[in-house]
Amino acid sequence: MSPTKSAPDVSPTRSAPDGSPTRSAPDGAGPAEEPRHLDPSLLLVLTLLTAVMLQGPIRRALAAPVMQSWMTVFVAVVVQALPFLVLGVLLSAAIAVFVPPSFFARALPERPVLAVPVAGAAGAVLPGCECASVPVAGALVRRGVTPAAALAFLLSAPAVNPVVLTATAVAFPDDPRMVLARFVASLLVACAMGWLWHRLGRADWLRPPSRPVPGGRGGGAAFWGSVRHDVMHAGGFLVVGAMAAATLKAVVPAEWLSAAAGHPVLSVLALAVLAVLLSICSEADAFVAASLTQFSLTARLAFLVVGPMVDLKLFALQAGTFGRAFALRFAPATFATAVAVSALTGAVLL
């Protein structure tokens, strides 16, 4: 697939050099029809130096309280997610380079219908938040794991691992059933989405991630190439997601929430939407849910189930890894399934 497809927009910081007319091509050395390339490294240096020179005006422009808290939340989301992203990227590179495809063929049941729950349960072994699971799921698909199973893993890993479940238990000391409900509901949604993909999914929605083929190169080169590619790729989308989350955090007024809290159906939907907008990492969302005391336990369960599976940051990451056509279909379907399953689980267990 052409790489232009995956490049939706130009960074605002760089639009000026991009469109600048300074590229007067003629040059003694090269042939006339061969344009000089604007050296990206040079561009990076120029951008950084310009920003350093203009730091006084930039700081003044950002001094408004809204801008400051926007920046703080933006930086916080990136700083929080980056270590987990790097962890996931290292793991996914190790899977992609050092684990032979035959391993997954043996480890997973041959029939996709059975492979889905096995992969979903295997999500319990990846301790981390959702940023780590996206690159790992991408590596699984590349390693020949059936997409349905990889997607079940993608959804379940951030929600059912021991770290997240422990955090949930700590956050809800009075309601230990919350942990069970979260585990059951998340696993159910992951399997349901895996089976749904198996029945309805089409391979052409899923863009196989483009990457340098490690043809003939050693393991080290392939490993670091994969790490570099994934960090650059997913990192860019992480920044997009962080910007969206910071904007919504600054814009959405808290009063709307208390208005929705009283209504049983509306409260579930409100917290599910809030989980999407806030994009809190799955290791922390339990504490936030615990503080939303005006909402019912079922509504808070929806918050905990939806958050690790669909949010702005994840959507951007998924679009970057699997393609926009995939993310546009997968995220809404997951959202609907997650809300329905949490409502049911909440009715039964809580």
Partner 1 sequence: MNRSTRSTRNVRVRPNRQAQAALLFLLGATVLHAGWTDLHLRYVKAGLRPLLLLSGAALIATAAATVWYERRHAPPEHHPEHHHPDDLPGDHHPEPRVSWLLALPLLALILVAPPALGSYSATHTGTALQEPLGFPDLPARGPLRLGVGEYAARAVYDDGRHLRGRPVTLTGFVALDGSGTPYLVRMTLNCCAADAQPVKVALTGGVPPVLQPDSWLELTGTYTPRRTKDPVNDGPVPYFEVTAARPVPPPADPYDDTGAG
Scanning 112-120, 141-149, 186-194, 208-216 for contacts with partner 1 by CB under 8 A, the matching segment is 208-216
Beta strands in the chain (DSSP E): none
Decide whether 221 or 266 has the Cβ nearer to partner 1. 221
Tokens 């190790």 correspond to what residue?
Answer: 94
Q: Please, which of residues 100-159 interact with partner 1 by CB under 8 A?
A: none
Which residues make Cβ contacts (< 8 Å) with residue 181, sequence separation at least 6? 301, 345, 346, 349, 350
Of the candidates 102, 123, 96, the residue with the CA atom closest to the CA atom of residue 183: 123
Q: What φ, ψ does residue 8 adopt, rounded to 5°? A: -70, -35
283-312 residues near partner 1, rule: CB under 8 A: 283-285, 287-288, 290-291, 293-294
Chain positions 217 to 236 lying near partner 1, rule: CB under 8 A, are: 217, 220-221, 224-225, 227-229, 231-233, 235-236
Q: CB of residue 27 vs partner 1: minimum separation in angstroms?
A: 10
Q: Which of 26, 28, 29, 347 binds partner 1 (CB under 8 A)?
A: 29
Confirm if 266 and 116 have CB atoms less than 8 A apart. Answer: no
**Tokens in use for 69?**
């808290």
Closest CA to 131 of 283, 248, 7, 273: 283
| Dihedral sign for Cα atoms in the order 39, 43, 49, 53 | positive
Specify the residue, 103 or 256, whose C-beta has the smaller distance to partner 1. 256
Number of residues in the chain: 350
Binding of partner 1 by 208 (CB under 8 A): no
Q: Using the rule CB under 8 A, which residue among 108, 148, 164, 171 binds partner 1?
A: 171
Q: Does 214 bind partner 1 (CB under 8 A)?
A: no
Query: Which amino acid type is present at position 159?
Result: A
Piece of the chain touching partner 1 by CB under 8 A; list 11-19, 137-145, 148-156, 322-330: 11-19
- Say whether residue 344 binds partner 1 (CB under 8 A): no
Per rule CB under 8 A, count of chain residues that contact partner 1: 101
